[in-house]
Amino acid sequence: MTKAQFYGGGFPYRTMTDMPGKLIVLEGTDSVGRSTQIGLLRKWLEDEGFAVADTGLNRSPLTQVGLDQAKEGHTLGRQTMSLFYAADFADRLENLIIPALKAGFFVLSDRYFYSIIARDIVRGADPAWARKVYGFALKPDLTLYLRADVPTLVARMVYGRGFNYWESGMDIRCADNLYDSFCIYQSRLIEQFEFLAKEYNFVTIDANRPIEPVFADLKSQISALIEQDKTT
C-alpha cells in the first residue's frame, strides 16, 4: 500500500487515496549499479508473482527528446535544466508511477527526485528552492540508497561505459580534465546524498561490494516491507 502522502502540496486538482501498489526507489550516484540491481529485482519480484513497472530519470515521452537535444547544445542553463528535469519527473509520476500504483504494481524507480536535487545543489541551486519544486512528489514506501566510494565508481567507469561529460560534471568544470572532474563531482554528490539520506530516511546499502551480496540486502529489505504489509 502506497499512502497518498506528498512532500508538499501534491496535486491539488487530483483526488488521491492510498494505492495498492508499492513504490520502491533505488538511489545513488552514477555507476553504483542501480540498473543491474533493478533488473535482478524485477525478475525476482515477477518470479514471486508480483507485477512490476520500472521508470527512471529522463524517460518521459513528453520531455525526453527535448531534454536530450538541450543537453547536446551549449545553451542549457542550470535553472533551465533543473526545471526540465522536474517536468520529466512530474510527467512520469502522474502518467506512469501513480497509475501503476493504483493498479497494484510494484514500481521500481531508478532514482527519484533526490538525485535531481543533489545535482541541482552541486550546481549552485538553493537547496530550499530545489526541495520545494518537488512538493508534488509522492513519498515512496522504501528508498534504498546504494552507497559507493569514489574509487569504486572510478573502477566501474573504467570497466563500464568510460568517463563522460555529464557524469563528470564537465558542465561546471570541477577540473580541467574528465577524470579529476569526475572524482570531484561524484564526491560532491555523495556529500549531498549523505544529507538527503538522513532527511528522507534512506536505507543505506554498501554498494562497494559485488552484485550478489548487494542484491541479497536489497531483497531482504523489500521482503521485510512485503511482510510488514501482510500484517497491517
Partner 1 sequence: MLKPHSYRGKLIVVEGIDGSGKSTQIDLLYKWLQTQGKSVYFSEWNSSPLVKSTTKMGKKQKMFTPTTFSLMQATDFADRWENQILPMLKAGVIVLADRYAFTAFARDVARGVDPEWVRNLYSFAPQPDLAFYFRVPVEIAVERILSGRAELKYYEAGMDLGLSDSKTTSFRLFQQRIIAQYDEMINEFGFVTIDGTDVVQNQQKLVRQIVRKNLLGWEGMPNPNLPLPPKRRPARKTAPQKEGGEA
Residues in contact with partner 1 by the rule CB under 8 A: 8-13, 61-63, 65-67, 69-70, 73, 75-80, 82-84, 86-87, 90-91, 94-95, 129, 132-133, 135-136
Smallest separation (angstroms) from partner 1 to the CB of 212: 39
Give, in order, the Cα–Cα distances in Å from 160 to each of 108, 155, 157, 164, 203: 23, 8, 5, 11, 26
Residues 6+ apart with CB under 8 A from 93: 136, 137, 138
Which CB atom, from 112 or from 202, has the smaller least distance to partner 1? 112
Smallest separation (angstroms) from partner 1 to the CB of 207: 31
Which CB atom, from 121 or from 184, has the smaller least distance to partner 1? 121
Cα separation, 111 vs 89, in Å, equals: 10
Smallest separation (angstroms) from partner 1 to the CB of 12: 5
Which CB atom, from 62 or from 158, has the smaller least distance to partner 1? 62
Smallest separation (angstroms) from partner 1 to the CB of 85: 9
Q: Residue 176 is placed in which grid cell? A: 580541467
Which CB atom, from 79 or from 177, has the smaller least distance to partner 1? 79
Amino acid code (one letter) for 161:
R
36 C-beta neighbours (distance < 10 Å), count: 13
Which CB atom, from 89 or from 105, has the smaller least distance to partner 1? 89
Smallest separation (angstroms) from partner 1 to the CB of 77: 3
Residues 6+ apart with CB under 8 A from 109: 23, 24, 25, 26, 54, 55, 56, 97, 140
